[in-house]
C-alpha cells in the first residue's frame, strides 16, 4: 500500500511510514492542542516535499488568520497558493449546505487535489441542524408513526447523519488522503465531539493537552489506523519554530 508521508518529524514512523493513501483521518483534541497546525503542516509538506496538491477547508477561521499562523513557522501559504500547489477555502458556517461536500468534491477532481484538510467537523456538528432539513431525509424517515421523539433526539440523529454522509462523500476518492479535525468528546468513551466520526474515519489521532511541568504539555497517540500496525504509545508533542515535532517518551 502507498503511504502518504506527513513529513511531520517523528510522526510517520508511528504509522509504518505514513498515512494509508486515500484514508480519512480524524485529528481530535481539545482547543489549542495544535490540530490546525498539524493539518497545515501536512499540506505544506505535501506541496513542498512530495509534489502533492493540497486543499484546506476552514469553517471557522479567516484566511488571513490561517496564513498568519502558517507564516509563524516559515510556511508561505500565499506563495504556494499562487503556484497552485495549495488552496485555502474559507466557507462561513452559515453558507454550508448539503451541497457543500459536492462542491468540495468537484474541486478535488478538477484541481487534482491529493491532500485535504477539513477544519473542523465540530463546527459542522454544532451548526448542522439548520442544514439538516435535508432533501433526502425527512422527519418521517427518522420517526415512525407510533414513536414520539423529542426535538433534541431527532436533531442529534440528523447531525450524525449529516456528519456520516459528509465523511463518506470525501472517502470516495481512492488516492486523496483527508484529515478531518474535531474537538474531542465531552461524553466519556467517545473521541470526537460528534461521537460518530471516529467510527466513520479510517484512522484517529488524538492530541491531548496536560501541563505537568515537564518539557512538553502536549501529547499524541494514534488511536486507530486501518491497514496499519500503528504505534500505541503516548508521545510528547512540541510546537517548535518549524511546526509540530513528535518525540519519543524517554
Ligand atoms: N509560533 C508558535 N510557536 C509555538 N507554539 C505556537 C505558535 N503558534 C501557535 N502555537 C500554539 O499552538 C496553539 C494553536 O494551535 P492550533 O490552532 O493548531 O490549535 P487547535 O487545536 O486547532 O485549536 P482550536 O481547537 O482552538 O482550533 C496555540 O494555542 C499555541 O499554544
Ligand atoms: Mg484549530
- Using CA atoms, how far residue 174 sits from 154, 155, 170, in Å, is 33, 32, 10
Any ligand 1 atom below 6 A from CB of 80 = no
Distance in Å, CA 222 to ligand 1 centroid: 20
Is there a contact between 177 and 115 (Cβ–Cβ < 8 Å)? yes
pTM value is 0.92
Q: Does domain 3-120+166-246 have CATH number 3.40.50.300?
A: yes
Residue 28 has pLDDT above 50, yes or no: yes
- Using CA atoms, how far residue 58 sits from 55, 87, 112, 123, 204, in Å, is 10, 11, 19, 9, 19
Across 108-114, average pLDDT: 97
- The residue whose CA has the least distance to atom 30 of ligand 1 is 32
Higher pLDDT, 210 or 182: 182
User: Hey, which of 27, 29, 36 would you mutate to test ligand 1's pocket, going by the most ligand atoms within 8 Å of its Cβ?
Assistant: 36
pLDDT, one tens digit per residue, over 141-169 is: 555 555 554 555 566 777 888 888 889 99
| Ligand showing the shortest atom-to-Cα distance for residue 30 | 1
Residue 140 has pLDDT above 70, yes or no: no
Is there a contact between 46 and 77 (Cβ–Cβ < 8 Å)? no
Domain residue ranges in the chain = 3-120+166-246
| Ligand showing the shortest atom-to-Cα distance for residue 237 | 1
Any ligand 1 atom below 6 A from CB of 74 = no
pLDDT, one tens digit per residue, over 12-21 is: 999 999 999 9
152 burial class (0-12, 13-18, 19+ CB within 10 angstroms)? exposed
Any ligand 1 atom below 6 A from CB of 34 = yes
Per-position b or e across 218-236, b if 16+ CB within 10 A of its CB: bbbbbebbeebebbeeebb
Residue among 38, 14, 18, 16 at smallest CA distance from 26: 38
Residue 250 has pLDDT above 90, yes or no: no
For residue 52, give every residue at least 6 positions away whose Cβ sits within 8 Å of its Cβ, in sequence order, or none.
4, 46, 114, 115
Amino acid at each position: 500500500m502507498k503511504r502518504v508521508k506527513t513529513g511531520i518529524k517523528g510522526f510517520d514512523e508511528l504509522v509504518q511510514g505514513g498515512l494509508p493513501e486515500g484514508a480519512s483521518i480524524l485529528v481530535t483534541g481539545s482547543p489549542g492542542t495544535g490540530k490546525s497546525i498539524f493539518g497545515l503542516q501536512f499540506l505544506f509538506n505535501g506541496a513542498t516535499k512530495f509534489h502533492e496538491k493540497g486543499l484546506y477547508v476552514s469553517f471557522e477561521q479567516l484566511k488571513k488568520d490561517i496564513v498568519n499562523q502558517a507564516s509563524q513557522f516559515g510556511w508561505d501559504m500565499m506563495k504556494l497558493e499562487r503556484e497552485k500547489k495549495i488552496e485555502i477555502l474559507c466557507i462561513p458556517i452559515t453558507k454550508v449546505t448539503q451541497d457543500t461536500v459536492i462542491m468540495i468534491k468537484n474541486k478535488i477532481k478538477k484541481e487534482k487535489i491529493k491532500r485535504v484538510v477539513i477544519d473542523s467537523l465540530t463546527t459542522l456538528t454544532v451548526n448542522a441542524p439548520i442544514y439538516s432539513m435535508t432533501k433526502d431525509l425527512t422527519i418521517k424517515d427518522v420517526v415512525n408513526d407510533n414513536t414520539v421523539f423529542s426535538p433534541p433526539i431527532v436533531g442529534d440523529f440528523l447531525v450524525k447523519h449529516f456528519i456520516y454522509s459528509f465523511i463518506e462523500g470525501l472517502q470516495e476518492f481512492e488516492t486523496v488522503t483527508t484529515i478531518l479535525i474535531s474537538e474531542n468528546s465531552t461524553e466519556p468513551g467517545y473521541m470526537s465531539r460528534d461521537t460518530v466520526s471516529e467510527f466513520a474515519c479510517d484512522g484517529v489521532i488524538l492530541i491531548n493537552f496536560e501541563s505537568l511541568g515537564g518539557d512538553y504539555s502536549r501529547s499524541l497517540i494514534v488511536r486507530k489506523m486501518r491497514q496499519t500496525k500503528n504505534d500505541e504509545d503516548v508521545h510528547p508533542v512540541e510546537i517548535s519554530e518549524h511546526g509540530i515535532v513528535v518525540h519519543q517518551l524517554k
